[in-house]
Chain A
Amino acid sequence: MSLLRIDSVCKSFGSLKAVNNVSMTVEPGELRAVIGPNGAGKTTFFNLISGFLTPTSGRIEFDGADITALLPSHRVWRGIARTFQITEVFPELSVRENLQIPVEGAFGHRLRPWLSRDDDRKVRARVGELLEMSGLTARDDRLVGELAHGEQRTVEIMMAIALNPRLLLLDEPTAGMGDQETYDITRLIRMLHREQKLAIVLIEHDMRVVFHLADRIMVMAQGTMLAEGTPREIAANEEVQAAYLGKEAA
């Protein structure tokens, strides 16, 4: 059974059709990329999947259950986590604290006024694990607001991972990054994909990243799906080339 099924979903804002009849299925463990020019509706599409917006029509199914109108926080607990176009972290808290919060949430401790020594140990262990995975152990006490852009992005991704998601939505993870940072993030994503065995859907503009990581690519333009297929197919697709890929070849 597919992990995520999106059926003919539309989102209109007044007379503006931001997302027009888009369908997509994602299998468990797949790595999907969504590409397209600015204003194509990609982030709106993500917002529909993550629950920030509700579709005007259409249906979203996750793991067999209908989540079309489900609240964002509930989708998180079903296994969907996301990052944002502009890095959203907790700037005045340390890296450790930023990770601690979703870890405690994942263990079900959100409302707890105290933790037993055992639970506390488990939380610390998990936070340590996440820090190591992402190479941030040396930075654990730094305030996230003081970190470099790439490291903040890494923290954000690890916060999402801390929720033990089955589907990870990454909105332009390498936006605003130089070559080295892009390379590091790409490596991180690939490592997470392999080791955590989760499905990832990512919006990206950097074609190197897309062709490096994706199993399948979906191209959006002006709110509709233009093409869908393997990287090879997309690279060869003339319509896509005309509309978008023209400047940057694979």
Chain B
Amino acid sequence: MTQLILYNVFNGLIIGAFYALMALGLSLILNLSDVINFAHGGFLAVGAYLAYALIPFIGFWGALVVAPILTAVLGLLVERVLIRPLYGRDVLYSLLLTFGLAYMLQDGTRFIWGPQTLPFSVPDWLSTPLSSQFFFLTGYRLFMVLLVSAAVIALFLILRFSRLGIRIRAGTRDLETVSALGVNVRMLRSLNFGVGIYLAGLAGVLAAGMLGLQPTMGDSLIMPSFVAIIIGGLGSLPGTLVGGLLIGVASGVTSVFFPSASDAVIYIMMGIVLLIRPRGLFGEEGRF
């Protein structure tokens, strides 16, 4: 029994890490530019499929490095052409646009690679379990947790210490002041968007290794990302991180006792948070 719970908690942490990775990207874009990127799941899928296409040429590790970057480039293009015209307009429009974009990305991946699930080859030595007692601790899963942790830590370090990061954080608080201080706000938004999409692409490559490839793979991850942001608190990146992990673990634990409710539990948690502490765990007051 303990093994089962441990398995599910660990599984939950992995899922939670994914949610967090996705949600962090979403949150970055949301906080700075007030854009809800419905197409985030689509970019995740693009990242995964690009990796799949690249593996025969540059192998798994090459694809792991290159695919998210390519996805981010696509993201930059999208931001420049489609999203930039919408800044300053009602939230509604960016929602609708990214919504349409999500449709296009999903259909596009289906068109190019077909609707069936494709297998994703992961280096063999990663797939073997590390211990017979904790069979679920495959190298790949551990690797994923490590990689996601590294990405998150890198993100927070960048935000804290790099020039770009400082400007992003300042811009999230007060874009007008930042622009009055001579920062190129357009560039800032673009780069910020790019970083967010990079995270989505990275999550895509990792997800492919675990779940295989499907045009709809982004769909199941985007909703929980929303919930993670709501629970963690709008405007707070640490909150989003915690939110993602929390719902992942909650989902994992619930699947032991109430398997059919494991999806619903995250929405129940969201409902409770909204009731008791509407701004989320780490949210700032009056942000909405």
Q: Do A and B touch directly, given a CB cutoff of 8 Å in the complex? A: no
Q: Which residues of A contact B (CB under 8 A)?
A: none
Q: Which residues of B contact A (CB under 8 A)?
A: none
